[in-house]
Amino acid sequence: MSDPVDVAIIGAGAAGLMAAIWAGRTDSERRIVVLDSAKKPGAKILISGGGRCNVTHDGVDENAYAGSSRPAIRKVLRRFDVAQTVEFFRALGVKLKREETGKLFPTTDKARTVLDSLLGAARGAGVELMHPYRVEAVERQNDGFLIRGDGDELVARKVVLATGGRSIPKSGSDGHGYRMAQSLGHTLTPRLFPALVPLTLPRDHFIRELAGVTIIARLEVRTATDKVIQSYTDSTLCTHFGLSGPSVLDISRYYQAAQADDPGAQLTVCWLPGIDDRQLEGDLRTLGRRTVGGYVAKHLPERLGRALCAAVGVDAGTTGDRLTRGARQRLVMVLTQLRLPITGNRGYDFAEVTAGGVPLSEIHLETMESRVCPGLYVIGEICDVDGRIGGYNFQWAWASGYVAGKSI
């Protein structure tokens, strides 16, 4: 066994590297190691944002997150905000650009730039990166921790758990970190589930025939009593398995959470978010000699329009003056409030993050040190915090990593 290390950080993802950099910068005399099971750490950074790495978002606030309480999330986000993130990367030579959506990407449009800058900064801060080193167990010892894995055993005075969640397990984040957190006394939320994940529809659902159709639509989670509890309007993609695209990814965790509490909860889609129901009713009532198909085609991709008419048994060639009241009502429903009989989701292999994890109530948020196991720090996606798409999840990783690194 080698000499004790001062700080062992488990996981060289966004959060772990950030903690390592700031721990090294804060006190360069200490021995800080980062252990990662992956042959090439940083896989998730490299695949993020379609290979461009959406580093953050200019509108980050706690309302874009779910999981632990929003005031708790805010407390950490405030310590390292978007301006600090931009400045941090600028100082590493990575300029960020803001896109129309508010998302920030490196000007190179290459995630590799972000990863290389973090690895360089960690080296520059005197951090040792050990990989592949899969940590199997962390055990509490008198005044530190014993770390066991597929490399030499290590004794560390302080340990940072930055093992991520379960999404894309082949990247190295396979959920083992949750078991280690539990073995050190933490609890986990009652449910862990894939978030920012595409949703599936029954094999014979007409949407699956429309693979490739993309449209701005509004997705809504409704309670069994039809109250809308969450809604996102954004690009929505019909696929061979069901639905994907930003609106679907964003709403996926809310739909799953609502279903778990109330099996009567529903997901509905409004294909015409720019037209309110009354206007639509009126438009259809006053079509006269024009056809339903012609009207729908003005607002929707043709394939989708035809399929929606067919789904409610209305011939697209029907003229307004022949449209019955019942048919008109069915059309309004299918266009504005189509119930989606979701059968499930694409699972962790396709999810961008994991919902659930170590509750923030078990962590001192000024430092990210565990309340149940002093000397242990818990950061990044392993915490019960998940954000919308758009750079929010990395911002959580940067902020929680920074707080731990500075205070450890």
Ligand X SMILES: Cc1cc2nc3c(=O)[nH]c(=O)nc-3n(C[C@H](O)[C@H](O)[C@H](O)COP(=O)(O)OP(=O)(O)OC[C@H]3O[C@@H](n4cnc5c(N)ncnc54)[C@H](O)[C@@H]3O)c2cc1C
Contacts with ligand X, residue ranges (CB under 6 A): 10-16, 35-38, 41, 44, 47-49, 53-54, 134-135, 162-164, 167-168, 172-173, 176-177, 352-353, 380-381, 391-394, 397
Q: For residue 181, report the phi and psi dihedrals to the nearest 5 degrees.
A: -60, -40
* In the complex, minimum distance from the CB of residue 400 to ligand X, in angstroms, rounded to a whole number: 8
* In the complex, minimum distance from the CB of residue 305 to ligand X, in angstroms, rounded to a whole number: 32
* In the complex, minimum distance from the CB of residue 229 to ligand X, in angstroms, rounded to a whole number: 24
Tell me the Ramachandran region of residue 360: left when phi exceeds 0, alpha when psi lies from -120 to 50, beta otherwise.
alpha
Residue closer to ligand X (CB basis): 10 or 121 = 10
Residue closer to ligand X (CB basis): 328 or 388 = 388
* In the complex, minimum distance from the CB of residue 262 to ligand X, in angstroms, rounded to a whole number: 28
The per-residue DSSP string of 184-224 comes to TT----S--EEES--EE--TT-GGGGGTT-EEEEEEEEE-T
Residue closer to ligand X (CB basis): 331 or 360 = 360
CB 162 within 8 Å of CB 16: yes
Residue closer to ligand X (CB basis): 35 or 280 = 35
* In the complex, minimum distance from the CB of residue 55 to ligand X, in angstroms, rounded to a whole number: 7
* In the complex, minimum distance from the CB of residue 387 to ligand X, in angstroms, rounded to a whole number: 7
Cα 30–Cα 36–Cα 40 angle in degrees, nearest 5 = 120
Residue closer to ligand X (CB basis): 267 or 404 = 404
Q: What does DSSP assign to residue 366? A: T
**Residue 150 identity (one-letter amino acid):** D
Strands 154-161 and 5-10 turn out to be parallel
Residue closer to ligand X (CB basis): 48 or 266 = 48
Strands 103-106 and 128-130 turn out to be unpaired
Query: How many angstroms separate the CA atoms of 188 and 176, rounded?
Result: 13
Query: How many angstroms separate the CA atoms of 318 and 340, rounded?
Result: 26
Query: How many angstroms separate the CA atoms of 288 and 97, rounded?
Result: 50
* In the complex, minimum distance from the CB of residue 353 to ligand X, in angstroms, rounded to a whole number: 5
Residue closer to ligand X (CB basis): 140 or 299 = 140
